[in-house]
Structure 1
Amino acid sequence: MACKVISFINMKGGVGKTTLTKELGYHLSHVLDNKVLLIDVDPQMNLTQSLFQAFGYAPSQDIAQRVQMEELSDQEEGSRTKRSITVSSVSIASIFSGTITSPATPENSILKLDDNLSIVPGQLGIDFSLRNLNSTTLENGIYEFIKKHHLREQFDFIFIDCPPTYSSYTTAALKASDAYLIPAKPEAYSILGIDMLLKVVDSVQIENGPYFEPERLKNIGIILTDMRGNSSVGEKSLTEDLRKSKLIVNSNVYFFNTQFAHNEYIKTQIDYLIDRSNADKTSKPNLANLAQEFLGRIDDLWNNN
């Protein structure tokens, strides 16, 4: 199967977008043995902070790479342990601000976390540092970087974690993508965020026509996140209302049957990864089922149409 570049996006924040990007990306790479590249386009860089913590990295804007020893407290074991922290200056800023004399390269833009998982890290304050950058240059950055360095030949999946706002970063992500996936919660205003997103996607494609030829962006569907097994009557009602809403039905948006389950550790442990933990017995099978439905959806969109 050819590489798929997929934006994880919603115009409403707090819907589990970053968590879903991280957990699906890690599962596909470590459990299902795919080569996965994650790109953190969200200026909040939560994806970067989480994976840096999990893999022993710390971001830096002026030091390319150095190792320092940090004494950390292992709260579960009640002991003291040593952990090597690698400080890296690799970030997405190189892709957006690269020039002819100082071009973006895989070496200054991509951090290989292990054999199967890599990340283009985000950078705090990127809005300020790129404030004078031509918008067209910024919006073409990811597309050109993927193309120039033949990343589609190196990875099976490229996931882009997008900001929850309509900006040049959103456009940059969508222009580089083959498809987009919508994480959402069963909340009263979810439909508004999805409605706005569908309009944004249409607008970006109309304004940047050549980038979406011969195929327009595919909508992979909606995944409900942070779902509890004992959902309240109100939550179940909102879920059904969302599923049957005119917007979803008329737009022919696929609704995932598997919902991403609530997990307390995700909110309290920044370096938490479901497939690296034994703390939650329901999350692993839930994630595995979700990944299989995701792959089935990919197969349906590209191979059965």
Structure 2
Amino acid sequence: MPKSFIFWNNKGGTGKTSLAFQAICEFANLNSKKRILVIDVCPQANLSELLLGGLEGDGGGNLLKVQGKTPRATVGGYFQMRLPSPYTVGTIATSDFLSVPYEYNSAIPRNITLFAGDPLLELQANSMSTLANNQIPGTNTWVMVISWLRDFVAATGNRFDYIFLDANPSFSIYTQIAMAVAEKVIFPVMADDSSRRAIQNAFSLIYGLKLPSEIYAQHMFATRMESAGLTLPKAHLIVKNRITQYMGAASGYRAVLSSIDDDIEGIIRDNPRYLNFSALKDGVLEIRDFQTTGVVAFARGTPFFALKPGKRSVGGRRITIEAKQITDRRDEISNLAKRLV
């Protein structure tokens, strides 16, 4: 199996997708010989739109073209194929569902292949959950459904070296399917109490830590994965995202971030088997706010390494970005990309 990472947090607004876009593109650029598959398991498909051109490059229109292929070249299109026979794998023509972002957006590294996101996921979720909870003697229906993306990856054979997944903040069935194929989790957080609670909730949802009652344990994702002999993904990095450049040691924001550190140290001490690191410094990373550079990069679907200084058009306005801004942002993203090992 390829090495696999998922960007996820059960809180929205942490900059997860924008962070994933820049980190994945930087990783691909630094590792040009590696074959990379990006799986967008999000109904909003924002990562897909960025890879396919962003606002200025008609990423939305290009995504519609991908969704309009026959078969529908998206995660939703693949799930639609699986729905009639959910408990058998059959033959999967994986190439039918994949796109090459470079063909739509020349700023994207050529070694990235996209399995695009799709709003169909929300429509499919209820059916998938029902199928996963059916009672059929001799068949673990939950495992069969939760393994749909694992089946897809297995069907690609040795085509890819790395897989990166982006999932929305819910922990619905399609997010669990994405989590089941990942080895490592990147958790973006921000400097607020809701991010701290989200990390606590995330570890409860994935690993069953600090449940309010034992009655939930048998139904937890971790319990069902381990009962089926499937390996849980490990927390790989906690990324403190959008940290202001002017945050001082006495800042209230800093106090919240320190509280997050305390929570992580508690997990290191009490539940190290769920982590890919044994010291806080190895598992926590700070990323400053991308500011104007990020606005331009995402509007144009452009990784920082491909962004040039000067005036750029965004939404009919001319915005100036300086070389140092680009360099600073790329240095931080490169640091993150180099830790995706």
TM range (shorter): 0.7 to 0.9
Pairwise CA RMSD: 2.7
On the 8 A contact 2:76/2:120 being kept in 1, the answer is no
On the 8 A contact 1:42/1:122 being kept in 2, the answer is yes
Q: Which amino acid in the other structure matches residue 162 of structure 1?
A: A
Partner of 1:194: 199
Partner of 1:111: 99
Shift of 1:147: 1.2
Partner of 1:74: none
Shift of 1:162: 1.1
- The 1:208/1:249 distance shift into structure 2, 3 A limit, reads same
Shift of 1:267: 4.1
TM norm structure 1:
0.78
Q: Structure 2 CA distance, aligned partners of 1:43 and 1:190? A: 22
- The 1:229/1:211 distance shift into structure 2, 3 A limit, reads farther
Residues 73-110 of structure 1, C-alpha deviation per residue, up to 9 Å, x if partnerless?
Answer: xxxxxxxxxxxxxxx94111132122479964222221
Partner of 2:155: 148
Matched position secondary structure for 1:119: strand
Q: Structure 2 CA distance, aligned partners of 1:64 and 1:291? A: 32
Partner of 2:294: 266
Residues 27-46 of structure 1, C-alpha deviation per residue, up to 9 Å, x if partnerless?
Answer: 11123323211111111111
- Identify which of 250, 256, 262 aligns with 1:238: 256
Matched position secondary structure for 1:226: strand
Gaps of 5+ in 1: 66-87, 299-305
On the 8 A contact 2:14/2:241 being kept in 1, the answer is yes
Q: Structure 1 CA distance, aligned partners of 2:67 and 2:307? A: 34
TM norm structure 2:
0.70
Shift of 1:209: 2.1
Gaps of 5+ in 2: 103-109, 133-141, 208-219, 269-274, 309-320
Matched position secondary structure for 1:275: helix
Matched position secondary structure for 1:154: coil
Q: Percent identity?
A: 17
Matched position secondary structure for 1:22: helix
Q: Structure 2 CA distance, aligned partners of 1:128 and 1:20? A: 27
Q: Structure 2 CA distance, aligned partners of 1:138 and 1:155? A: 23
Shift of 1:257: 5.1
- The 1:206/1:267 distance shift into structure 2, 3 A limit, reads farther
Q: Structure 1 CA distance, aligned partners of 2:125 and 2:90? A: 15
Partner of 2:234: 218
Matched position secondary structure for 1:132: helix
On the 8 A contact 2:43/2:122 being kept in 1, the answer is yes
Relative to structure 2, which stretch is displaced further, 247-256 or 229-238? 247-256
Residues 274-298 of structure 1, C-alpha deviation per residue, up to 9 Å, x if partnerless?
Answer: 2221342310111112222x14xx3
Q: Structure 1 CA distance, aligned partners of 2:328 and 2:232? A: 37
What are the equivalent positions in structure 2 for 1:65-214 lying under 5 Å apart? 89-99=72-82, 104-114=92-102, 115-129=110-124, 131-133=126-128, 134-135=131-132, 136=142, 138-150=145-157, 153-202=158-207, 203-209=220-226, 212-213=229-230
Q: Which amino acid in the other structure matches residue 328 of structure 2?
A: T
Q: Structure 1 CA distance, aligned partners of 2:228 and 2:304? A: 36
Q: Structure 1 CA distance, aligned partners of 2:331 and 2:203? A: 31
Q: Structure 2 CA distance, aligned partners of 1:291 and 1:44? A: 24
Partner of 2:19: 20
On the 8 A contact 2:99/2:113 being kept in 1, the answer is yes
- Higher helix fraction (1 or 2): 2
Q: Structure 2 CA distance, aligned partners of 1:104 and 1:52? A: 24
How many matched pairs? Answer: 267
Q: Structure 1 CA distance, aligned partners of 2:256 and 2:202? A: 19
Shift of 1:117: 0.5
- The 1:259/1:240 distance shift into structure 2, 3 A limit, reads same
Matched position secondary structure for 2:242: coil
Alignment of 1:251 onto 2:234: no
Q: Which amino acid in the other structure matches residue 206 of structure 1?
A: T
Q: Structure 2 CA distance, aligned partners of 1:7 and 1:211? A: 21
- The 1:228/1:11 distance shift into structure 2, 3 A limit, reads same
Matched position secondary structure for 2:255: helix
Report runs of 4+ in structure 1 exceeding 6 Å deviation.
none
